[in-house]
Amino acid sequence: MKIKLLEEKVFKIIMVGAAVIILGVLLFIIGTVLYKGLPSLSWDMITKLPGGGFYLGKEGGVLNAIVGSVFIIFGSLALSILISVPLVMYINFYLPQNSGFSKTIRFSLDILFGIPSIVYGAFGFALMVYLGIRASLLGGIITVGMLIMPIMMRSFDEVARLLSRDLPDALLSLGATKYEMTRVLLKQLMPGLMTAILLAIGRGIGDAATVLFTAGYTDNIPASLNQPAATLPLAIFFQLGSPVPEVQNRAYASAVILTVIILILSFSARYFSSKFSKNKI
């Protein structure tokens, strides 16, 4: 009798310990990045392009990488919204529930979701060589688009699945076509879509392996789709590889910028999803 109560206590302590470890690791990671990066973070880092001798520790910032990342993420976002929104509406409101076709689509989305970003990178590169595109903004947009498409679809699909069936039925019985119904439902699903978008941005903006061969790297802001574009994760990676301590410190400062972006995205995604669950009651 006593043993089982003792066991209960011991395991509870171990479990709480495990939870504390995981929380501690998260704080440790964010803390390390802030501790190393904040001293080197300056206004110049965010607002200036790399100047002459930037990679020897002279002045300049990583504006090229910030803008490049933003360009790539918006391009790939447009691409993946264009494909994932119609697809999610199709499997949820056009196909009959639990039909074999929608199951097949969901299954292939699950598989696509699990494919590593480096494989997308290699595939994107092969595709670009085939189409005759050099490492450029366009290449980065296409490859990152492929990466975030399944992320967005799965997250949006989860919300669309939960939508009450009464609304589509009511709309159809009022004589709306399925297309008109879709437009109304989309409005209803907007917070869910926002969460999916923010999640996709977070994943896309931080991924280095996809853009490594497809977007290239440059010190300038790309002026057209054919020009190479710098990205924030690669800026961190390349600066970290430098033997000059000042440049390495800038890598840490860039890491702070990226971490702050991710934190903001993550909390706004949380805000939108809580808003959605409020609408749902």
Partner 1 sequence: MRRIRAFKDRSTRHFMLGIAIFTILFLVIMGLCLFFKALPIMKEKSLWVLLTSADWKPFKGDFGFLPFIISTFYVSLIAIIIALPLSLLVSVYLNSYASVKVRRFFEPVVDLLSGIPPIIYGVWGTLTIVPLIANNIAPRFVEFSSGYTVLAGGLVLAVMIIPLLISIMVEVFRSIPREMTDASLSMGATKWQTVKKVILRRSFSGIIAATVLALSRAFGETMAVLMVCGNITQIPHSVFDACYPLPALIANNYGEMLSMPSYESALMFSAFLLFIIVIMFNGLSRVILNQIEKRYQFS
What residues numbered 176-235 form the site for partner 1, per CB under 8 A? 177-180, 182, 199, 202-203, 205-209, 212-213, 233
Interaction pattern, residues 5-34, with partner 1; x per rule: CB under 8 A: x-xx--xx-xxx-xx-xxx-xx-xx--xx-
Instruction: Give CA–CA dist 22/80, Å, rounded.
Output: 33
Residue 158 in the binding site for partner 1 (CB under 8 A):
no
Q: In the complex with partner 1, which residue's Cβ is closer, 50 or 143?
A: 143
Nearer Cβ to partner 1 (51/116): 116
Q: Is 172 a residue that touches partner 1 (CB under 8 A)?
A: no
Tell me how far CA of residue 108 lies from CA of 103, 112, 114, 142, 153, in angstroms.
9, 6, 10, 19, 11
DSSP sequence for 232-259:
HHHHHHHHHT-S-HHHHHHHHHHHHHHH
Beta carbon of residue 48, minimum distance to partner 1 (angstroms, whole number): 22
Which residue, 9 or 58, has its beta carbon nearer to partner 1? 9
Distance of CA 85 to the CA centre of its chain: 16
Q: Kindly tell me which of 33 and 184 has the beta carbon lying closer to partner 1.
A: 33
> To the nearest whole angstrom, how small is the minimum distance from the Cβ of residue 165 to partner 1?
15
Q: Please report, in angstroms and rounded to a whole number, the separation of the first and last CA atoms in the chain.
A: 45
**Of 114 and 281, CB closest to partner 1:** 114
> Rg of the Cα trace of the chain?
23
Per-residue binder mask for partner 1 (CB under 8 A), 99-118, x = binder: --x--xx-xxxxxx-xxxxx
Interface region with partner 1, contact rule CB under 8 A, candidates 42-50, 51-59, 155-163, 267-275: 267-275
Write the CB contacts of 7 (distance below 8 Å, at least 6 apart in sequence).
Answer: none
Of the candidate spans 46-54, 57-65, 157-165, 255-263, the one that interacts with partner 1 by CB under 8 A turns out to be 255-263
Measured CA to CA, the distance from residue 204 to residue 211 in angstroms comes to 10
Q: Which residues contact 109 (CB under 8 A, 6 or more apart)?
A: 150, 153, 154, 157
251 binds partner 1 (CB under 8 A): yes
212 residue type, one letter = L
